[in-house]
Structure 1
């Protein structure tokens, strides 16, 4: 693939053969995750196959936010496989020199979030559970996000009063994502024709980043001010990428933030499935990066 040359310069490359184990369920987390350069890998919980991963997929990213044992076993199914192993430091280096690859990882994470929300679109109203945004990890990540957003405030701040929507589900995407500077914004998902609260966001939270993907033509949820007022900073994809390249720590923090949101969603809706792994069906269709 066209990113291989740059990727080899920063990640640790691992060559494996059929039946080799990358890590086992219960292994301690080591603050690393993996990108599939070549080959096919299976994900298992106990003896049950959960997912299959191919070239271009990544896994194990939950280790970036939680110091908990691995929740599944990953082993090689093809005759050979080549993986890139990322640590925090190598991910930062990759963001400096190969933003296309690391941005694709971020967009894949966002795509998994939306997939979960869309799967419950036709669920019974009482079965829709909102996202818990009160955890200590998200609180820590919000502080970093807020400090970065402050540097963008001169050009892009928007003030909105209570009940004003940033956007509504079904609105055409304008290509912007939003950082909350202050106030509260509630995310609503339409289920059986009724807007149901999905999450309450506050200063330092980010939303709307799915607009950076090529396939996202319309907003998939509503974002409405539910405090007395709110200020947000909006960024388009180009500004986000430039900021990420200049400040890879910022990009890494955003990636961890969105991974944490994904982890919370998967725990809420897929309690029987290890967090951080897409289903085999979902894995076939990853988001595309807009040109």
Structure 2
């Protein structure tokens, strides 16, 4: 992804030097919008992830690799701000208020609960912030087999897409429906929410097509496949159990991302109206 010359976003809250001191565990509305690598589908992914010890930290040094990841994140976030401002104006007829993205290392707290890098990036509707441990990019590439800068950009775009859903009022509606449903139905609604976020990520990707390099789209599609519920359950040594899925299969995730990329239209990301996912 060609980001040279792209300004960094100002909507970054950097907690990396002071992260630590809280045990991880998301709760409440945070459950709706965690990339999570299948964590809430009941998979123990601890062996797959590099976790930072959860002892209290007061200050820490930031490695050059972390700093490069932070600068990359800031620039990708800036592209989402421009894209969604334009898309909201032309397709929705309203203004777009971008989210703040919190960079942390190890563990952090949010109104949706405490979290660690092991849970993956997440979006919290309560404070309208996305949360990202930049070390997750290394996990994505080395442990999960989703390599490349555009794979990492897809992760950022996915969390921003949850904010788009929040701006459109979708998160609140889904949360109400989930609270009135049984576990299996609630999981099914969450799958549709996550697949819609994948599709919206594709809408963003189409809008930044001029920044893409050869192989970038395959990197994003591969990332979507690597974090499908069925793939992760098999990787954990389990037979896939669709009723426990919360993010969708590898095929569904990559297909809905591709749908958004081909269309570029929010209206074509209506996973809730789709008969078949």
TM range (shorter): under 0.3
Q: Which has the larger radius of gyration?
A: 1
After TM superposition, the score normalised by the length of structure 2 is 0.26
Report the structure, 1 or 2, having the larger strand content. 1
After TM superposition, the score normalised by the length of structure 1 is 0.25
Report the structure, 1 or 2, having the larger helix content. 2
